[in-house]
């Protein structure tokens, strides 16, 4: 079964994943001589740094997502397939997907990373992740439903479980979710849920390493902790989560927290598809690449962004899994693929670290630039500006800006809707077109 990609006289570049890396690469080469096939499981690009605002009812999902087909409306050479990537075959130069096989001349794996539960199946089953829009929406519905349940229950113990949210992982995602939930507790819960004593809503962050925002400067670790404490978030620093049974979290210091919501923000790992030789996959499931992002031992297969691990003197365990690395690697690879076609020597990748930042809430953020760190109101403004500029689509940028201004002035969004998809009783899954007929690609 083929994915029905039109025949083409030139070279075909197949890009797996429409995240920061895959989308940037496709955009850079959209006007080139390559035929580009972009494969992604969702029909949209999602802006992961703001997923936490969807999960905490601060933004609508449509504000942080952009339809991939719309990006390439004017590029006849770019073909999008909404499909699950299943495996790759380097020998036959083929990708197997849920909508059929796709042959390639060049292959770029930009499939990003998934949540790392460090093998803890119990936690994987019972906790909430924050890696995609569907996960963020599920978490938003769950938090809002728990507030509804807590309003209409008279069992104190059960109510406390429903009102306790434990966030595992004190990296940017954990800190940002905790801050947003603390602001929700302060400004929204007393107004919307008259039956709930908002002081009983407990928000805790558990970080095993002993440092919040571990990849940032000492000053930022401390500022993040101070900001969270000022918002009355409980910080368990240097303590790990041992187990979770759905009602109670057990910490490594023996403490037990009754809790119905465990948010897992403790790490990511690659998700290489079948067909990548095992010896090329590192301990964190990333694919080993050389300094040109070429998969080791291959000629026409590349990996970029979170899924790739390029060992350098400065980054012996690979580059940080952040958007800038993905964008810079894809921008260079776009040029290198054109060089390859012209038989011109390729340029190696050098990461230009522009700094890191995280926000904890209103007027509370930390920014580490290569030679200068600052925090507070100005850091928060910089954080907002950088994130706004990085969003795909002018309309999305405007929507987010209006949302943020509204929230800043009125302390209250009206996005707290519990909407779960309904199944139509007569609905039957329509098989993909290529399961009804066969055609060559």
Contacts of 85 (CB under 8 A, 6+ apart): 16, 17, 39, 41, 95, 96, 97, 111, 273
- Whole-number minimum distance, CB 102 to ligand FAD, in Å? 12
Report the DSSP beta bridge partners of residue 308. Answer: 287
- Whole-number minimum distance, CB 225 to ligand FAD, in Å? 18
**CA separation for the pair 86, 76 (Å, rounded):** 26
**CA separation for the pair 307, 321 (Å, rounded):** 8
- Whole-number minimum distance, CB 98 to ligand FAD, in Å? 8
- Which lies closer to ligand FAD via its Cβ, residue 260 or residue 329? 329
CA-angle at 112, arms to 106 and 116, nearest 5° = 145
**CA separation for the pair 304, 24 (Å, rounded):** 11
- Whole-number minimum distance, CB 51 to ligand FAD, in Å? 4
CA dihedral 130→131→136→137, nearest 10 degrees, is -150
- Whole-number minimum distance, CB 133 to ligand FAD, in Å? 10
- Which lies closer to ligand FAD via its Cβ, residue 271 or residue 384? 271
- Which lies closer to ligand FAD via its Cβ, residue 4 or residue 22? 22
- Whole-number minimum distance, CB 61 to ligand FAD, in Å? 13
- Which lies closer to ligand FAD via its Cβ, residue 22 or residue 100? 22
Which stretches of 65-120 are DSSP H helices? Answer: 68-71
- Whole-number minimum distance, CB 250 to ligand FAD, in Å? 25
Residue 409's CB: how many other CB atoms inside 10 A?
A: 8
**CA separation for the pair 21, 287 (Å, rounded):** 15
- Which lies closer to ligand FAD via its Cβ, residue 182 or residue 322? 322
- Which lies closer to ligand FAD via its Cβ, residue 80 or residue 251? 80
Residues that bind ligand FAD (CB under 6 A): 17-22, 39-42, 48-49, 51-52, 84-85, 110-112, 130-131, 172-173, 271, 305-307, 321-324, 326
Buried residues in 363-402 as b, exposed as e (16+ CB within 10 A):
ebbbbbeeeebbbeeebbebbbeebeeebbbeebbebbee
In this structure, the chain runs to a length of 441
- Whole-number minimum distance, CB 301 to ligand FAD, in Å? 16
- Which lies closer to ligand FAD via its Cβ, residue 131 or residue 159? 131
- Which lies closer to ligand FAD via its Cβ, residue 21 or residue 188? 21
Which stretches of 112-195 are DSSP H helices? Answer: 121-126, 133-151, 156-162, 172-187, 189-192
CA 365 to chain centre: 20
């Amino acid at each position: 079964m083929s994915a029905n990609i039109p025949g083409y006289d030139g070279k075909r570049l197949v890009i797996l994943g429409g995240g920061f890396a895959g989308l940037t690469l496709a955009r850079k080469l959209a006007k080139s001589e390559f035929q580009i096939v972009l494969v992604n499981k969702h029909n949209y690009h999602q802006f992961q740094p703001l997923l936490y605002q969807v999960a905490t009812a601060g933004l609508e999902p449509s504000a942080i997502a952009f339809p991939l087909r719309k990006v390439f409306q004017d590029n006849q050479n770019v073909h999008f397939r909404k499909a699950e990537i299943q495996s790759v075959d380097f020998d036959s130069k083929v990708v197997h997907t849920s909508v059929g096989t796709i042959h390639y001349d060049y292959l770029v794996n930009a499939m990003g990373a998934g949540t790392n539960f460090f093998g803890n199946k119990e936690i994987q089953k019972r906790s909430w992740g924050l890696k995609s829009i569907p996960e963020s929406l599920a978490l938003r519905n769950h938090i809002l439903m728990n507030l509804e349940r807590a309003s209409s229950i008279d069992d104190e113990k059960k109510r406390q479980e429903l009102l306790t949210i434990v966030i595992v992982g004190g990296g940017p995602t954990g800190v940002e979710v905790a801050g947003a939930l603390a602001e929700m507790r302060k400004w929204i819960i007393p107004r919307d849920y008259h039956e709930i004593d908002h002081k009983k809503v407990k928000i805790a962050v558990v970080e095993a390493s002993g440092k919040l925002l571990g990849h940032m400067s000492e000053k930022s670790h401390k500022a993040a902790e101070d900001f969270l404490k000022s918002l009355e978030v409980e910080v368990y620093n240097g303590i790990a989560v041992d187990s979770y049974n759905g009602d109670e979290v057990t910490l490594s210091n023996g403490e037990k927290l009754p809790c119905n919501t465990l948010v897992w923000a403790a790490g990511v790992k690659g998700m290489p598809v079948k067909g990548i030789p095992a010896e090329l996959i590192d301990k964190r499931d990333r694919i080993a690449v050389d300094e040109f992002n070429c998969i080791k031992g291959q000629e026409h297969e590349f990996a970029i962004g979170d899924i790739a691990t390029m060992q350098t003197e400065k980054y012996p365990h690979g580059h940080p899994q952040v958007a800038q690395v993905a964008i810079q690697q894809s921008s260079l690879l776009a040029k290198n693929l054109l060089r390859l076609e012209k038989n011109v020597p390729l340029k190696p990748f050098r990461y230009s670290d522009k700094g890191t930042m995280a926000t904890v809430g209103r007027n509370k953020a930390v920014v580490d630039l290569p030679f200068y760190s600052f925090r507070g109101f100005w850091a928060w403004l910089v954080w907002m500006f950088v994130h706004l500029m990085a969003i795909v689509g002018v309309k999305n940028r405007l929507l987010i800006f209006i949302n943020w201004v509204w929230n800043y002035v009125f302390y209250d969004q009206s996005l707290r809707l519990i909407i779960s998809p309904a199944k139509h009783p007569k609905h039957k899954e329509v098989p993909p077109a290529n399961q009804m007929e066969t055609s060559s690609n």
